[in-house]
Structure 1
Amino acid sequence: MLTLGVVTALNVRSLPVIGDGTTYSAEFAEAAGLGEGNDVRIAGVEVGRVSDVRLRGGHVLVSFRVKGAWLGDATGAAIRLKTVLGQKYLALDPGGEGTLDPGRPIPRSRTTVPYDILTAFGELASTVDKIDTARLAKSFDTLSATLANTPQSVRAALTGLSRLSDTLASRDSRLAALLGNTRVVSRTLVDRDAAVRRLLEDGNRLLAELSNREAAITALLDGSRRLATELSGLIGESRLDPLLTQLDQLTSMLERNQDALAAGIRGLAPFVRLGTNVAGTGRFVDGYLCGLVLPSFGPLNEEGCHG
C-alpha cells in the first residue's frame, strides 16, 4: 500500500479523473517561442497546457496535455501568437474519424509555425550592422559610372540609387542607433508582456465601467426630461403660472423694501416693550396717560407730563 501510494503521488498528473489529462505530442520545424506552461486551445477555448519542448533530431518535439476534449487521428497543430508582444499558444484543429494515438506524435505535415516579427527585427538589425555602407556607396558610384552611356531613364534610376547609397552612408550612425533602439524596445516589451497585458485588461474593464455609467447617466437625463415635461403639464393644467408670477412679484417687492421693513421692526420694539410693561401686572392694564384731561377742568397735574 505504501508503494502504491508513492507511485500514485508521483503520477497524479497522469491519472484519468484527477490528472491533467492525456499527453500528446507534435513535431514542429521550430519552437517559435513556444515554452512549457503555454496554453493549448481548441477554437479559442483552453483545454490544456504545454508540458515540454525539446529538440529531437532535425525538428522540435512539443509535448502537451489535453483534458475534456476529443482529438481525431487527423488532428492538426499550429503555434500561434497570443498577444501582440510575442506570447504564443498551441492551437489544435481536431479532425479525422478515429482517435488520436498518444504514442504517435502529430507529423510535421500537419503542423505550422507563425512568423515572428520580433525575431525578424532582431535579425534585420544584426544584418544592417554588418553592412559596409562606404563600400556599398562606392559600388553604386562605380555602377553608375559604368552605365553612364545607357538611356536617360536607366541613368535617372542609377542616379537615384547613387543618391540613396550616399544618404545611407551619411546617416549610418543614425540608422544603427535606430535599429539598436528598436531591439531594446522589442526586448523590453517581451520582458514586460504580463504587465502590459494586465494594463490592457484593466483598460478594458475601465471602458466597460464607463460604458455602464454612461447608460445610467443617460437614463437619469431621460427621467429628468420626462419629469420636467410632466411638471410643465401640471402647471399648465392647474393654472399655477399666475400664482407663481404674483409670488415672484411679492418676493421682489420685499427685497426692494428690505431696509424699510428692518427700520419698522426696530421702531416696533419699544412699543412692544412698553405694552408688555403696561399689561404685565395682572388681569388689568396699569398705565398713565399724561394730558388726557385738559387744564380747563382743573389743576390735575400742575408740573406737567415731564415734571
Structure 2
Amino acid sequence: MTRRPVLLGAVGLLVIAVTALLTFFLEDLPFFGGGTEHTAEFTEAAGLRVDDEVRVAGLKVGTVTDVGLREGKVLVTFRVGGVELGDRSRAEIRIKTLLGQKYLALDSEGRDPLTDTIPVERTTSPYDVIEAFSGLSTTVSEIDADQLAESFRVLSETFRDSPEHVKQALEGLSALSKTISSRDEQLASLIKGANQISGALAERNKDFAALITDGNLLLAEIGHRRDAISKLLDGTRALSRQLSGLVADNNEQLRPALEQLERVTDVLRNNQDALDRGLALAGPYYRVLNNSLGNGQWVDTYLCGLVVDPGARRDCPTGGR
C-alpha cells in the first residue's frame, strides 16, 4: 500500500485542532455544557458578579457566567439547567444577604421556549439610579418657585416674634448643619471605611454562613441531647443535696478531725527544716541496708574489727561485702 505522509499529517493536524476546539468550547455545547445559556439586559449591574446564583422559585438552577456592557446596558449571561424558560420570562437582581451579595431571580412565563435576550423592560434591579434621578428631576421641575419663595417669607414672618427657646433651637440646628458640613472629609472617610468593612464581610460571607450552619448543628444536637442534659443536671443537683446533708449530719465529727489535721500540718510546717535534715541522713543508712538485704532472704554483710590482731593493719572497707 502506498503511503501518503502529507495526507496523514494533514489529517492528524485536523484531529488535533478539532480536539482542542472541543476542549475549549465543550461547555458551550447543549449536551455537555451543563444547561442552557441565556442573556438578560439590565439598566445597572447592582453588584451582581460572575458565579452568583440563578434561582427559579427560590431554588438554585444555575449560575451567572458573565456580566458586561452592550450599547449602554448591562448584559448578564447566565446558564440554567433542569428548567425551561418561557419567551415572556422576567429577570430580577435581588439581595441574597445583608452583606450585599446578590442573585439573579427568574420568573418563567410564556408558552414558547426562550430564545432571545430578556429585554430591559422585563428586568428589575434592586436600585435603579437612572430612575431615581429621573424622578428627582421631575419632582424638582414641578416645584413652583414663586410659591416656594412666598412660603419662606411667611415662615420668616412667623418666627420673627417666636420665643427665645425656639430661636435657640433653630440656632442649634444651624450650628449642627455647619459642623456636619465642616466635617465633610471625615464623614467621607468614615463612609469609605464602612464600605471597606462591608466588602470584607461580603468576601467572608461563606465563612459566616458556615459558622451559622455549624451553630445550628450544635443547637440541634443540644436539642436532641436535651433529656440527657436534663437528667445530668438533676443528678448533679441531687448529688449536691446529698453532699450538703452529709456534711451537715457529720459536722460534729468532721470539725474535730479537721482541726486536728490542721494542728498536725502546723507541726510539720514548723519542723520542716528538721525533717529535711532527717531525710538527708536517712538516705545513706537505707542505701547500706538495701545492699545488705537485697541479695536474698538473708543478711549479706561483712563485720570487721571484732577480733583485734596486734600485728595486723586495720584496713576495713566502709560498705559492701
TM range (shorter): 0.5 to 0.7
Give 1:20 shift: 3.0
- So what's the TM-score if we normalise by structure 2? 0.54
Q: Distance in 2 between matches of 1:223 and 1:173?
A: 63
Query: Which residue number in structure 2 is paired with residue 241 of structure 1?
Result: none
List alignment gaps of at least 5 residues for structure 2: 1-14, 133-149, 239-248, 261-321
CA RMSD of aligned residues (A): 4.2
Q: Alpha carbons of 1:29 and 1:153: their partners in 2 closer, same or farther (altered >3 Å)?
A: farther
Q: Distance in 2 between matches of 1:33 and 1:148?
A: 44
Residues 41-73 of structure 1: per-residue CA shift (max 9 Å, x gap): 112222222122221113111111112211111
Query: Which residue number in structure 2 is paired with residue 88 of structure 1?
Result: 102
Q: Alpha carbons of 1:184 and 1:148: their partners in 2 closer, same or farther (altered >3 Å)?
A: closer
8 Å CA contact retained: 2:43, 2:128? no
SS in 2 for 1:150: helix
8 Å CA contact retained: 1:144, 1:158? no
2:123 maps to 1:111? yes
Matched residue type, 2:51: G
Query: Which residue number in structure 1 is paired with residue 25 of structure 2?
Result: 11
Q: Distance in 2 between matches of 1:189 and 1:155?
A: 46
Q: Alpha carbons of 1:172 and 1:44: their partners in 2 closer, same or farther (altered >3 Å)?
A: same
Give 1:144 shift: 12
8 Å CA contact retained: 1:39, 1:48? yes
Matched residue type, 1:92: L
Query: Which residue number in structure 2 is paired with residue 183 of structure 1?
Result: 192
Q: Distance in 1 between matches of 2:87 and 2:117?
A: 10
- From 35, 44, 55, give the equivalent of 2:58: 44
Query: Which residue number in structure 2 is paired with residue 55 of structure 1?
Result: 69
Give 1:221 shift: 2.7
SS in 1 for 2:225: helix
Residues 247-273 of structure 1: per-residue CA shift (max 9 Å, x gap): x99xx8xx99xx9xxxxxxxxxxxxxx
Give 1:213 shift: 2.2
Residues 164-223 of structure 1: per-residue CA shift (max 9 Å, x gap): 222221344446424421221222221342324413431331243134124314334348
Q: Percent identity?
A: 34
Query: Which residue number in structure 1 is paired with residue 158 of structure 2?
Result: 151
Q: Distance in 1 between matches of 2:195 and 2:35?
A: 36
Q: Distance in 2 between matches of 1:218 and 1:153?
A: 74
Q: Alpha carbons of 1:225 and 1:99: their partners in 2 closer, same or farther (altered >3 Å)?
A: same
- From 39, 43, 46, give the equivalent of 1:29: 43
Query: Which residue number in structure 2 is paired with residue 205 of structure 1?
Result: 214
Q: Distance in 2 between matches of 1:98 and 1:194?
A: 39
Give 1:36 shift: 2.1
Q: Alpha carbons of 1:2 and 1:196: their partners in 2 closer, same or farther (altered >3 Å)?
A: closer
8 Å CA contact retained: 2:44, 2:128? no
- From 102, 111, 118, give the equivalent of 1:97: 111
Residues 110-129 of structure 1: per-residue CA shift (max 9 Å, x gap): 10001389xx9xxxxxxxxx
Q: Give the length in aligned residue pairs.
A: 214
8 Å CA contact retained: 1:26, 1:105? yes
Q: Alpha carbons of 1:221 and 1:53: their partners in 2 closer, same or farther (altered >3 Å)?
A: closer
Q: Distance in 2 between matches of 1:71 and 1:65?
A: 11
Q: Alpha carbons of 1:116 and 1:176: their partners in 2 closer, same or farther (altered >3 Å)?
A: farther
8 Å CA contact retained: 1:27, 1:105? yes
Q: Distance in 2 between matches of 1:51 and 1:204?
A: 27
Q: Alpha carbons of 1:60 and 1:27: their partners in 2 closer, same or farther (altered >3 Å)?
A: same
Q: Distance in 2 between matches of 1:49 and 1:99?
A: 19
Q: Alpha carbons of 1:91 and 1:149: their partners in 2 closer, same or farther (altered >3 Å)?
A: closer
List alignment gaps of at least 5 residues for structure 1: 121-142, 230-247, 260-307
2:227 maps to 1:218? yes
Q: Distance in 2 between matches of 1:41 and 1:13?
A: 20
Which has the greater radius of gyration? 1
Q: Distance in 1 between matches of 2:91 and 2:217?
A: 35
Give 1:149 shift: 6.5
- So what's the TM-score if we normalise by structure 1? 0.56
